[in-house]
Amino acid sequence: ETGVTQTPRHLVMGMTNKKSLKCEQHLGHNAMYWYKQSAKKPLELMFVYNFKEQTENNSVPSRFSPECPNSSHLFLHLHTLQPEDSALYLCASSHALRGPGNQPQHFGDGTRLSIL
Amino acid sequence: SQKIEQNSEALNIQEGKTATLTCNYTNYSPAYLQWYRQDPGRGPVFLLLIRENEKEKRKERLKVTFDTTLKQSLFHITASQPADSATYLCALDYGNNRLAFGKGNQVVVIP
């Protein structure tokens, strides 16, 4: 049990579909993150939320829309995705802070997304 | 441009030996560096964090060094076991708990 739960674990969708990825953490953290992990590439940070406020959007296309209704839940809404968006999407959480990154991040096991 | 380099070739090592992985970086000045382990189909799991003013950090059979002059971190697994087989990721802080990850280095421990 990682403390960070992502659903669904697998998702296949067409380019015109709308779907959402869900992340929930039970670790009492106040920072949450979305990452993209593609084959042969490093993890790419997409979004950061601190205390429910978005503090980082790493030039992510608008077809990805995050939502953080509270410190325990994070969503990634998907719309009109492209085949190159097929990847493993990982959610992470940590204690929030301002300054250097001295907080370990706790990851879920990801949603494997395939775009047809 | 900023780069984090980890060896793309898998490290095959005999059980009981020490595995050593390298993480080199350019155009970063991280205050902290972290190492994670990732198993197939799973998310990364945090292992160790080392600060820029620390030379070495240990946790059980794991040891990490951090040389800010060489811009390099070494990750050692002593007395390696087959259960240590995984991909190990180096991650650099670039402020406000944002992490930049390397591609990872796979370790295969042969019984």
Q: Distance between terminal CA atoms of chain B?
A: 41
Contacts of B104 by beta carbon, 8 Å cutoff, 6+ apart: A42, B6, B38, B87, B88, B89, B90
Query: In the structure, what pLDDT confidence band is assigned to residue A98 with cuts at 50, 70 and 90?
Result: low
Closest Cα to residue A15, out of A88, A86, A105, A110? A86
Which candidate from A48, A50, A104 shows the least CB-CB separation from B49? Answer: A104
Retrieve residue B45's tokens. Answer: 């799991």
Q: Report the alpha-carbon distance of residue B89 to residue B108 in Å, rounded.
A: 15
Q: Say if residues A104 and A4 touch (Cβ distance below 8 Å).
A: no
Preceding amide of B40 cis, omega within 30 = no
Q: Best mutation site among B59, B68, B88, B96 for testing chain A: the one with the most A CBs within 10 Å?
A: B96
**Contact between B103 and A103 using a beta-carbon 8 Å cutoff:** no
Interface contact flag, B44 A107, Cβ < 8 Å: yes
**pLDDT of res. B93:** 87
Spell out which residues of chain A touch residue B97, defining contact as CB-CB under 8 Å: 31, 48, 94, 96-97, 100-103, 105
Q: Among B101, A115, A58, which Cα is nearest to A66's?
A: A58
Answer whether B4 sits within 8 Å of A101, measured CB to CB.
no
pLDDT in tens, A12-40: 999 888 999 999 999 999 999 999 999 98
Instruction: Give the pLDDT confidence of A61-73 residue by residue, as tens digits.
Output: 999 999 999 999 9
Q: What percent of chain B is predicted at pLDDT more than 90?
A: 81
Rounded CA-CA distance A87/A103 in Å is 26
Q: Which residue of A has its CA nearest to B29?
A: A100
Residues of A within 8 A of B41 (CB-CB) are 109
Do the strands B11-14 and B105-110 form a parallel or antiparallel pair, or are they unpaired? parallel
> How far apart are the C-alpha atoms of B62 and B92, rounded to whole Å?
18
CB A32 within 8 A of CB A74: yes
pLDDT category of residue B31 using cuts at 50, 70 and 90:
confident
